[in-house]
Amino acid sequence: MHEAHNFIYNFPFFCIILTMVGGVVMPFIRNGWIAQKINMGIIAAVGGMNVAVLCQLMVDGGKTVTYMMGHFPAPFGNEIRFGPMEAIMALCFCLVMGMSILGGLKDIYHDVRKGKQNLYFLMINLLLCSLLALIYTNDMFTGYVFIEINTIAACAIVMSKDSGETIVATIRYLIMSLLGSGLFLMGISMLYGITGHLLMVPLKDSIGDLVTSGQYAIPLTVIIGLISLGVAIKSALYPFHSWLPGAHGSATTSSSAILSGLVLKGYIILLIKVIYRVVTPEVMAELQITNVLLVFGVVGMIMGSVRALKERHIKRMIAYSSVAQIGYIFMGIGLGSTVGIMAACFHILSHAFTKPMLFCSAGALVDASGHNYDFKKLRGSALKNPLAGIAFTVGGLSMIGIPLMAGFPSKLYFSTGAIQGDWFRLGVVLTALAISTVLNALYYLPAIINMWTPKKSQEASHGHDHGDAHGAHDAHGGDAHGHAEELANVEDHEDEHEEVHEKPRITVSFVVSMVIFLASNFALGIFYQPLMNIIEQGISVL
């Protein structure tokens, strides 16, 4: 009755269990350094397993595989199910998570208290576990349980930087998140009430029956609305974004990167799976929910950018930019066509690779300018840490949508998706894209120009010499130079005592992380076609 699986198809299950066990053993490991190494090992292993799964799936012709969690098949026991789309998402999530941790490693050791660093990595492991489970699950209720794990882990990595500001941000985040998961659970309960199923495949059949017979039409609309609303609150779609800037802006660098790069996307992937595997896009369009999502997405794209424009705090500015990008993704879902969803999926990936790079480089730049978050005071910081400056520049340009970078293909596909729709959608989407691009440029370009501009007065020449003469790795020369600069500084302006002028120590992990982020950003921007093919294949069998 059941075909025997290839052994490789056990890997997604192993990934979930491995990350979970990796999280559970962390309390025994008192040393934060060892915990970090174990965590990196687990992420690497999970990434490797996902590569294997992806290759095997493509060899087998891009099919999806259903994997029973236990001895009982479809409507009776839990299941996970994976195809090319899930595998590539999981792979990218592992990569981004690993690089985000490496990119902010210095800040983790600085911000999280010594005895509790192992618990930070515990949260990271369980966060990855829940993200993988959300990507792979084929059961609505499993989705809910892992959403809760995700929520607690995400809040915990925000509050691990133990200051009043982060705890306030955490509780706001937690309250909004719980509101969202409450709505999601209510949606699932009602869905169970009218269908009697919790697994996605039987749900799809019974919803199909309900739609053809016209039974329970109103509950069905409300249920899909509740589920979409819950996901929208949890992934900070525009009017529900109020918690996001605080949480992402005040957390430690890695946490901000992971939260905006991955956590927001996990819920959206679940929503896409619900749309394709449970409700079907036709029903979504028929119930007008796609149009609502389109409107919210477009408003979010523009309003997020407008709010970012007003922001002076660099991390909060990047956080508001995330609100705008979430708007893009929801707009893609709202287009209702396959190309729209493909564009949304691609944008999930491109944003997942770009935003953590921005956060990590911003963290390094802030470090270089003496812990100043106001972006006017970041002037000249890119010259002190050129690698972070380059990464921030590339990230910003990619967000604007310059060709050759990751942000460009997604905008291209959004436009393609809009052209395939009716005239009204075409107009709305293209106008929104144009306005949003201009707004993005308006807030990223000044920040970039500002950080490459040398400081005024005699330090200007210093800065230029320095930028030309020394590469990122020349730590010794940098130290000497920094020392001289510091001396000069003490003599000249004693009032600016706060600003530290020594050359920031650039760690190896930061270099590795930035180089990989830069490489993958360009790779996504130039060689996007194969990736799009995989995504298209994945969506067609979803």
Partner 1 sequence: MNNSTNRPQKPWEKFARWVNGDSTPEDSVLRRDEFPDGRKRVAQPEKMIDGTAVGRIRRFRKFYLAASVVICCLFIALMLYTVSEMPPYGAVDVPTNNEVAEKYIMDGVTETGATNIVAGMILDYRAFDTLGESTVLFIAIMSVVLLLRKDKEYVNDEEDLRILEEQRIQEQKPNVALKTVAFIMIPFIFLFGIYVILNGHISPGGGFSGGAILGAGLILYANSFGFTKLRKFFNFKVFTAFTSGPLLVYAGLKTYSFFTGANHLYSIIGPGTPGMILSAGIILPLNICVGMIVACTMFGFYALFSKGEI
Partner 2 sequence: MGNFIMNHYYEITAVILFGIGFISLLLHSNLIKKIVGLNIMDTAIYLFLASRGFIHGRVAPLLIGTTVPEDGVYINPIPAGLVLTGIVVSVSVTAFSLALTQRLYKKYHTLNLDEILLLAKKEVSK
Near partner 1 in 67-126, by CB under 8 A: 67-72, 75-78, 113-116, 119-120, 122-123, 126
Q: Is 211 in the site for partner 1 (CB under 8 A)?
A: no
195 contact, one of partner 2, partner 1, none, CB 5-8 Å limit per kind: partner 1
56 touches partner 1 (CB under 8 A): no
502 CB-contact burial (10 Å; exposed 0-12 / middle 13-18 / buried 19+): middle
Binding at 438: pick from partner 1, partner 2, none (beta carbon under 5-8 Å per type): none
To the nearest 10 degrees (0 to 180), the angle between helices 200-213 and 164-195 is 60
Nearer to partner 1, 110 or 483 (CB): 110
Tell me how far apart the alpha carbons of residues 416 and 536 are, in angstroms, rounded to a whole number.
Answer: 14
Q: Give the amino acid at 371.
A: H
Site string for partner 1, 28-47 (x = CB under 8 A): x-------------------
Single-letter amino acid code for the residue at 337: S
Find out whether 157 and 259 touch, Cβ atoms under 8 Å: yes
- Pick between residue 108 and residue 229 the one whose CB is nearest to partner 2: 229
128 binds, among partner 1, partner 2, none (CB under 5 to 8 A by kind): none
Which residue shows structure tokens 């009032």? 495
Instruction: Single out the segment in contact with partner 1 by CB under 8 A; choices: 51-59, 189-197, 300-308, 486-494.
Output: 189-197
Partner interacting with residue 178 (select from partner 2, partner 1, none; CB below 5-8 Å by kind): partner 2
Kindly state whether residue 222 participates in binding partner 1, applying the rule CB under 8 A.
yes
Q: Which amino acid is at 216?
A: Y
CA–CA separation, 357 vs 338, rounded Å?
29
74 to 32, 77, 187, 274: CA distances (angstroms): 42, 6, 21, 17
Nearer to partner 2 (CB atom), residue 190 or residue 435: 190
Output 151 or 235, the one with its CB closest to partner 2: 151
Element (H, E) at 232: helix 217-234
CB 264 within 8 A of CB 326: yes
Q: For residue 495, what are the contacts with CB-CB under 8 A and spacing of at least 6?
A: none
Map tokens 């479809």 to a residue: 74
Q: Per CB under 8 A, does 142 bind partner 1?
A: yes
Of 161, 197, 384, 411, the one binding partner 1 (CB under 8 A) is 197
Task: Identify the three-state secondary structure at position 139.
Answer: strand
Residues engaged in binding partner 2 (CB under 8 A): 141, 145, 148, 151-152, 155, 159, 164-165, 167-168, 170-172, 174-175, 178-179, 182, 185-186, 189-190, 192-193, 198
SS3 call for 249: helix
Binding flag, residue 193, partner 1 (CB under 8 A): yes
Tell me: does residue 135 bind partner 1 (CB under 8 A): no
E-strand ranges in 230-276 read none
* Residues near partner 1, by CB under 8 A: 2, 4-5, 10, 13, 17, 20-21, 23-25, 27-28, 67-72, 75-78, 113-116, 119-120, 122-123, 126, 129, 133, 139, 141-142, 145-146, 148-149, 152-153, 155-156, 159-160, 162, 167, 190, 192-197, 206, 216, 218-219, 222
